[in-house]
Structure 1
Amino acid sequence: MITVVEAGSNMEQKTAFNEKIRQSILIDYNISKTTTEEDFNQLTFLASTICHAPTAFLSIIDKNHVWLKSKTGINIDEIERKNSFAQLTLESKEQQYCLNYSENPQVFEEAKIHYQELYKFYIGIPLKNAQGYIIGVLSVLDTKERQLKKHQIEGLKALANQCVKLFEFAKQNKKFSIVQRKLKQKYQELEKFASVVSHDIKSPLANIISLTELLKVENQGKFDDETTQYLNYLNESSYSLRNYVDGILSFYRSEHILEKDYENVDLHNLLSGIAHLYDVANDVEIDFPETVTLHHVNKAALTQVFLNLVTNALKYNSKDHRKIQITFKKTETFYHFAVIDNGDGFSEENSNKIFELFTTLDTNDRDGNPGSGIGLATVKKLINSMGGNIKVSSTLGEGSNFQFTIKRV
């Protein structure tokens, strides 16, 4: 038995299938019926202006209705889809669907029911996504018959293209927001995990340090040199691990610092407060600028940056007289700072590595403690989040120059 399938039936099935896909695409774009963004209002206004026509609108073709996302010259929110101008544009499959009253008066007479005015000219530009499916239609109406010029039609097509880009931007922005929320949730979970693990590690570490110190004091003179050395290793390793844990916590908590309010900051007072922390050391000299007002900066983040850089400059300096000079200048878009020391320095090839998390140069500070590779990574994270950048130049045995910027707002 041979089954005969009519061509018209196949066409109807294909049209129904395409319409189903088109409706799913509209859902994916999440184009709200109730929201009219100013960007779309401006585009419809430009469409009206380009054509010197009183009416223009951006319509979205839903399952049974056509609703107007933005409009100029009319006050309609929604009409039936059947026999609407937007539906005719969709069915035409043309790059632009243009119609005058004299060509099909019935269409305009039926449209009068919805628009409360007898229009005699219509042009619609379909808004197609990258896959060729029509999201909506950019339409222009006039009360007199028209023949648009080539540059007017090209102008409408350019506006239609911008409409599609706005839809795509909104779609991608929605996806970005979802990913951002998930990342923030993961970060919070990681921060909580780090906090719990750090607490669980620091508690027994404190016991190890206390017991080791107690063991050394109560058995002073009883242990041989080798045993005493083992106890010293145990003590030093415990302190290093504690500092490492503190560094991890500081790195993750820096995210909260970035959420602080921006304010005007007196740079001299900020640096003076940090310098006073080292007043007890007679071998330390810290020079910094006189009164300078920084406008709209994150004071907590900037304080943390300077505190880390100054502390590092003093820790990794084995000279008898430790000197730090802090300089400042501003340009139209950035505040520029430099923290210059006369410390131990390092080879130029390591100038980029030192800002990587958990990366150390295998050198100990002036007290013999190894670095954690977290402090400068935190500094870079804070500076980048303030719209700036950091770089360093250094000479082994002579000192380092950390230069960084933060964006002026």
Structure 2
Amino acid sequence: MIHPAKPINEKERLNALNSIELLKGISEEEFDNITKLASYICKTPISLITLVEEEKNWFKSNHGGPPITESERKYSHCGHAILEPHDLMEVEDMRKDLRFRDNPFTTNPELPILYYAGMPLIDNEGFALGTLCVLDTKINKLNDEQKTALKTLAKQVEKLFELRRKNLYLEKIKQQLDDHNSLLKDFAGVVSHDMKMPLANMIITADLLKVRYKDAVDEKGQELLLNLKKSALKLSDYINGILNHYESDRIVASEEVEFDLHHLLEDIIDLLNINDNCEINFPQENMFLKCNRSALEQIFINLINNSIKYNNKEKIVIDIESSMDENYYHFTVTDNGIGIPEDQLSNIFKLFKTLYITDRQGNQGNGIGLSTVKKLVESLNGKISVSSVLGENTSFKFDIKRA
């Protein structure tokens, strides 16, 4: 018997094998189907997908063989086969081959392995990781069609290996992105919370200075203090927007409950403290919902608040419509506001993307609110769209998945 030699690139080959991270001892249908087909085509009782490790062989798939998951590499047929990575190795009678004639598998009185044909499995860098092989307990010989079929099946195994490698790579990239986003989220949260108190102090201090030193500060000084307060308030709104955006994940995680739409909208109107110059028309028919109330509430708060802020009409009118089908709840929020330029409609849901227009108080938006709305809608397995006529109206349509 001759023990198989080690390939000259053995270290790199083992690294390539380990990089696939195949699960040992766990049957996987896509591999088992290939070994079943190989045995059927080659008319052999045994077929294996064998991976050659440093000291052991282990079987990713074992069709018809003894109920074992590994064997010693020094007795390996596949260890010899991978030395010629591009050729199919066939041994018609193990007893006549110096490498195998006194091999324990050959001399096994209960289940002697007398025939072997194995095609090396090559990765995309050219390393032979193992073989797809067929074995028999009697002398055998494959015809040309069977050899071609075995090589073709080996290519399918190689594609499965490469698919596994790519999936692992994508999973690692996704995990890195998730970790990175988590760090950014934590950073934004910490910074935003830490900035809220100093900003509140700035706003209060500006008001105190205006009152306490109103006789000592001239008109220009009063104007500067007012600008200071406006800037602090704008930054405070910006920070609150960031916190709401990153806390939307927590909102989506809340439980689904049963409630009616009119009651929800009434609570929102009370919360926003809407003036008499704003008319909000509810859907004609109330609708009872079962979904994430907190998330839907946040969506409506943002949309209604935007409809009020970006409106230059003497009388603000907001129409809310609703319907449902077997799978979704559908909602529309339409206002008679300033509208959105057509070339800007595709940008309004992008985080920190502003339209460079001002609200009723002359302030410019921060590009966070509608991004948060889109994030919440999509988290509820829905979609949102917008249509607008500049100077006349804007309409947001969105749907969410029914529980």
Q: Same fold, TM exceeding 0.5? A: yes
> 377-386 or 244-253, which moves further after superposition?
377-386
In 2, the alpha carbon distance for the partners of 1:195 and 1:115 equals 71
Of 66, 78, 83 in structure 2, the residue corresponding to residue 86 of structure 1 is 78
Count the aligned residue pairs.
390
> Could you tell me how far 1:224 is from its partner in structure 2?
5.3
Q: Does 1:134 align with 2:128?
A: yes
> 212-221 or 134-143, which moves further after superposition?
212-221
In 1, the alpha carbon distance for the partners of 2:331 and 2:35 equals 48
Tell me the equivalent position of 2:234: 240
Q: Does 1:98 align with 2:67?
A: no
In 2, the alpha carbon distance for the partners of 1:116 and 1:71 equals 18
The within-5 A match list for 1:284-303 is 284-288=279-283, 290-291=286-287, 300-303=294-297
Of 167, 170, 182 in structure 2, the residue corresponding to residue 173 of structure 1 is 167
In 2, the alpha carbon distance for the partners of 1:79 and 1:335 equals 59
Q: Does 1:325 align with 2:316?
A: no
User: Does the aligned pair in 1 maintain the 2:113–2:135 contact within 8 Å?
Assistant: yes
Q: What whole-Å deviation, never above 9, does each CA across 1:248-303 have from its counterpart, x for those lacking one?
A: 22222334445x2675x65x735741443115534332434743656xx7665454
Output the amino acid matched with 2:90.
C
In 1, the alpha carbon distance for the partners of 2:162 and 2:377 equals 32
> Could you tell me how far 1:108 is from its partner in structure 2?
7.0
| Structure-2 change in CA distance of 1:245 and 1:101 (3 Å) | same
> Could you tell me how far 1:407 is from its partner in structure 2?
6.8
> Could you tell me how far 1:52 is from its partner in structure 2?
4.6
Q: Secondary structure at the match of 1:351?
A: helix
Output the amino acid matched with 1:20.
K
User: Does the aligned pair in 1 maintain the 2:299–2:376 contact within 8 Å?
Assistant: yes
Q: Does 1:189 align with 2:180?
A: no
> Could you tell me how far 1:385 is from its partner in structure 2?
4.9
Q: What whole-Å deviation, never above 9, does each CA across 1:191-213 have from its counterpart, x for those lacking one?
A: 33223322332212111211222
Q: Does 1:374 align with 2:374?
A: no
Q: Secondary structure at the match of 2:61?
A: strand
Of 49, 55, 58 in structure 2, the residue corresponding to residue 58 of structure 1 is 49
Q: Does 1:29 align with 2:29?
A: no
Q: Does 1:69 align with 2:60?
A: yes
User: Does the aligned pair in 2 maintain the 1:61–1:135 contact within 8 Å?
Assistant: yes
In 1, the alpha carbon distance for the partners of 2:152 and 2:323 equals 48
Tell me the equivalent position of 2:34: 43
> Could you tell me how far 1:228 is from its partner in structure 2?
3.5
User: Does the aligned pair in 2 maintain the 1:344–1:399 contact within 8 Å?
Assistant: yes
> 156-165 or 390-399, which moves further after superposition?
156-165
User: Does the aligned pair in 1 maintain the 2:55–2:73 contact within 8 Å?
Assistant: yes
The within-5 A match list for 1:151-230 is 152-218=146-212, 225-230=219-224
Moved segments of 4+, more than 6 Å: none
In 2, the alpha carbon distance for the partners of 1:343 and 1:336 equals 22
| Structure-2 change in CA distance of 1:28 and 1:343 (3 Å) | same
Tell me the equivalent position of 1:7: none
Q: What whole-Å deviation, never above 9, does each CA across 1:63-121 have from its counterpart, x for those lacking one?
A: 23211122122212222223522123223444433333389477477324579513444
> Could you tell me how far 1:183 is from its partner in structure 2?
3.1
Q: Secondary structure at the match of 1:308?
A: helix
Q: Secondary structure at the match of 2:210?
A: helix
> Could you tell me how far 1:312 is from its partner in structure 2?
1.7
In 1, the alpha carbon distance for the partners of 2:109 and 2:301 equals 68
In 1, the alpha carbon distance for the partners of 2:73 and 2:334 equals 71
In 1, the alpha carbon distance for the partners of 2:62 and 2:74 equals 20
Q: Secondary structure at the match of 2:74?
A: coil
Q: Does 1:254 align with 2:245?
A: no
Output the amino acid matched with 1:285.
I
Output the amino acid matched with 2:64.
G
Q: Does 1:344 align with 2:338?
A: yes
Output the amino acid matched with 2:80.
L
> Could you tell me how far 1:32 is from its partner in structure 2?
4.7
For structure 1, which runs of at least 5 residues remain unmatched after alignment? Answer: 1-11
> Could you tell me how far 1:126 is from its partner in structure 2?
1.6
> Could you tell me how far 1:34 is from its partner in structure 2?
4.5
User: Does the aligned pair in 1 maintain the 2:115–2:137 contact within 8 Å?
Assistant: yes
> 21-30 or 340-349, which moves further after superposition?
21-30
In 2, the alpha carbon distance for the partners of 1:156 and 1:16 equals 23
Compute the RMSD of aligned alpha carbons. Answer: 3.5
In 2, the alpha carbon distance for the partners of 1:72 and 1:176 equals 31
User: Does the aligned pair in 2 maintain the 1:328–1:337 contact within 8 Å?
Assistant: yes
In 1, the alpha carbon distance for the partners of 2:167 and 2:334 equals 42
Tell me the equivalent position of 1:278: 269
> Could you tell me how far 1:376 is from its partner in structure 2?
1.5
In 1, the alpha carbon distance for the partners of 2:320 and 2:53 equals 67
Output the amino acid matched with 1:62.
E
> Could you tell me how far 1:243 is from its partner in structure 2?
0.4
| Structure-2 change in CA distance of 1:160 and 1:406 (3 Å) | farther
Tell me the equivalent position of 1:304: 298
In 2, the alpha carbon distance for the partners of 1:137 and 1:70 equals 11
Q: What whole-Å deviation, never above 9, does each CA across 1:330-365 have from its counterpart, x for those lacking one?
A: 587x76654333222121011122222222222232
| Structure-2 change in CA distance of 1:33 and 1:217 (3 Å) | same
In 2, the alpha carbon distance for the partners of 1:271 and 1:134 equals 67
Output the amino acid matched with 1:22.
R
State the TM-score, normalizing by the size of structure 1. Answer: 0.80
Q: Does 1:355 align with 2:355?
A: no
| Structure-2 change in CA distance of 1:276 and 1:408 (3 Å) | closer
State the TM-score, normalizing by the size of structure 2. Answer: 0.81
